[in-house]
Chain A
Amino acid sequence: MNTKILRKEFESRMAQLPSQGKDHEFRQKAMDAFYDSGFPSRQWETWKYTDLKPIASKEFQLIPKESTDGAHETASKLLTTCDLEAGPSRFIFLGGHHIPELSSEITTTGLHLSMFGYPSPENRSAFSEHSSKNFKEHPLAALNAAFSTQGVRIQVAEKTNIDTAIHLVFLDSNLENQTSQPRILIDLKAESKITIVQHFLGSNLNSGWTNSVTEISQAPGSDLTLYQFQEHGTEHFHTGLLSSSLASDASIKLGFIDLGGRLTRNDVHVNLDGAGAKTELFGIFLATDGQHIDNHTRIDHRAPETKSIETFRGIVGDRGRGVFNGKVVVHPDAQKVDAQQSNDNLLLSEKAEIDTKPELEIYADEVKCSHGATVGDLDTEQLFYMKSRGIKESDAREILIFAFANEILKLIELPQLRERVAHRTAHHLPGHDRLGVEL
């Protein structure tokens, strides 16, 4: 994707949109930002371990083709492989295009959910006033803003508790070399509550690229739980930025589960802007057979008595590679902050690699912070104990690997999702059928 192609693609994209209006200007601004920076390179400190060349050098279709005949059947089939989303609140996208036929209609009071993008009959804006803040630091978010085809805006009214989880399912395109650039805008009014699942799913061998942006804005006392479950096809690339800002006493629980894809990079940025805001951030990934998974997180404690607990675990085998970077910044006036971070990794082969970097920047004096990172093989004492009970070595290893992941999976509060994730995790272990899965 050289600049010439990018410009041409962008011009055709813009030609499809209404020529005036805020969104038009916004997309232009986003594209200009991307022209300035280009794809992040490994010279960037934040991209030291992840090389985007495999994406940048490919001729991905930035304006994805509409799904062809039979695509809906393919999508339906894929969906039946997991009954996870078969609830009343699911929204299905295929290769970046919303499929109303497979999606639910929302009639819940206090929940406003709308699709936007081209063609957008209601002409809703795909952007919030915060959207442009990230362009400089996250060029891929700018690219998403410039090209984004479709997305969702979810708004929960004041003091409304939505008790059914919303599932947004993004299926890999059944066509070769397509991009999907979903935008998800979440806006929680004061003291509202909701759970959202972003599920990326694919089973084909097509090369493709998903570049998502999730923007979250939480009013005082609101409560969001969001899980991102990534199980793309094996030749799919995934990049994504999730950024959120929390007013006083708001809380956000974020879970990232990465099992699929060729290369994955999650950028997560949580801003604890109001006093008493808190976040629980966790993740688990499994990288084998040349997969590359990178989680870059940043938590800004900008107000007093804010709290963060961050727990990421990685399992890498074969020629897999895992990266974790967890930055926690405690700003000058943010006293009585509690910030805990841990990152534990299982390195199961000599050809596998893990790069982990916790970063703490503390500018306040009354804080409680802890962090720790470990990289290691399975515990020999535990292996010996299990073998002494008659369990053969290979089974003992798989049980321990699963147990390591399971400590994170337990944090998923949706039983169906937890089971699905546990099942899929176990699926990556050769003896899974015999060993069974127990939580």
Chain B
Amino acid sequence: MLQIENLHVCVENQPILNDLNLEVNAGQVHAIMGPNGSGKSTLAQVLAGRDDYKVTQGNITFCGQNLLEMQPEERAHLGLFLAFQYPTEIPGVNNAYLLKAALNAQRTARNEQEVDAFEFMNLIKNKMKMMQIPEAFLNRSVNEGFSGGEKKRNEILQMLTLEPSLAILDETDSGLDVDALRIVADGVNNLRSPERSLILVTHYERLLELVVPDFVHVLAGGKIVKSGDRDLARYLDEHGYDWVQTEVSA
């Protein structure tokens, strides 16, 4: 589904990712862990198509297509979704309006019939319940005045509604209390299927106890320095990241 080869990325002329390689197949859940500043979020943003992050070398193929040549919206139409670490506030645009516009934009791009307001409400009703988002949230401006946990739950609601084939969750677990973490994890697990893939970018292991990954990668100094299964995440949780960096430089 996703192949990243030899990826080099600069942000404001600073190299952040260096020779990053990753392959994600359909149905797999990959966790990307690493210390602060290792380039985790940069990778997430580059995949979504942020244009101020400059790809200086390498290839990314998504569903057989050259991802780097696509606009962010085209990536979304092809089934890529990024749950933002810091979801953007958009005063004046109502939450339901944005989600419906996004869903219909994707449906139109895929030659599917648009949904009307009634169908839309039916479609999201259960998903809202699952994410414990009250209906009043739909009429509020996107993310404006939302608490940290509400913003993250709203991202997952969007994900559940848009049903992407590849979802990248950028530190969706940070800043969540135990209950909110469980709600988010339930939402993510609900989306898991043999056709869908997930990349969980996280600093902590606790989300991975609830959404069990098939692979765990450690990102340090802009590249993946170690890969393993969920036990690697547990080990990192216990021993921190220092040993990885020591091992790499050794």
Contact = CB atoms under 8 A, between A and B. Distances in A.
Interface in B81-95: 81-82, 84, 87-88, 90-94
Contact of A386 (B90, B96, B103): B90
A389 B83 CA distance: 10
Interface stretch (A157-165, A222-230, A392-400, A412-420): A392-400
Contacts of A387: 49, 71-73, 76
A405 B93 CA distance: 11
Interface stretch (A23-31, A124-132, A315-323, A377-385): A377-385
Nearest to A409: B92
A435 B75 CA distance: 21
Given A389-B76, A389-B102, A393-B73, A399 B93 contact: yes
Contact of A400 (B51, B75, B93): B93
B202 to A, nearest CB: 20
A391 interface: yes
B215 interface: no
B121 interface: no
A389 B105 CA distance: 9
Given A390-B106, A392-B105, A403 B73 contact: no
A391 B73 contact: yes
B162 interface: yes
A388 interface: yes
B153 interface: no
Contact of A381 (B72, B76, B88, B101): B88
Interface of B: 48-51, 71-73, 75-77, 81-82, 84, 87-88, 90-94, 96-99, 101-103, 105-106, 109, 141, 158, 162
Interface of A: 381-382, 384-393, 395, 399-400, 402-407, 435, 438
19 contacts: A382-B88, A385-B87, A387-B76, A388-B75, A388-B76, A388-B81, A388-B82, A390-B73, A390-B76, A390-B77, A390-B102, A390-B105, A390-B162, A391-B73, A393-B73, A399-B98, A403-B91, A407-B92, A435-B101
Given A400-B92, A403-B93, 18 more contacts: A381-B88, A385-B88, A386-B90, A387-B71, A388-B48, A388-B72, A388-B81, A389-B102, A390-B76, A390-B106, A390-B109, A391-B101, A399-B97, A400-B93, A403-B91, A403-B92, A403-B141, A435-B101
